[in-house]
Amino acid sequence: MRHAIEGEYTRYEQGQIAGLLIEAPHHVSGFAAVLATFNVWQARRRMRRDMARDMRTFTDAMIEDAGMTRKEAEREVRKPFWVA
């Protein structure tokens, strides 16, 4: 049985998203910082929603190929968007 992931899929390692925010220019205005945070939260929410949807069709071997166990993947899906 073959499975295909439709659309663009970006996998971030733990702490990578926070690192992107830290590397952002420090002269950014308050509104730009809020907007950047909102964009990160939206990307996390979308990634976890897509992962939850696709995980139902993935075998344990497919999840392990992504570097996670099924339990770790389920834990990641349940995290709120504001948690890295």
What helix, strand, coil percent values describe the chain, rounded to 5? 55, 0, 45
Query: By residue range, what is the domain housing residue 72?
Result: 45-84
Confidence of residue 1 (pLDDT cuts 50, 70, 90): very low
pLDDT value at residue 9? 65
pLDDT value at residue 43? 92
Structural domain count of the chain: 1
Is the residue at 26 inside a domain? no
pLDDT value at residue 33? 83
Is the residue at 75 inside a domain? yes
Question: Tens of pLDDT along 16-69?
Answer: 666 666 665 566 678 888 888 889 999 999 999 999 999 889 999 998 998 899
- Whether the pLDDT of residue 15 is over 70: the answer is no
Is the residue at 73 inside a domain? yes
Give the residue from 14, 7, 8 showing the smallest Cα distance to 67.
14
- How far apart CA 66 and CA 61 sit, in angstroms, is 9
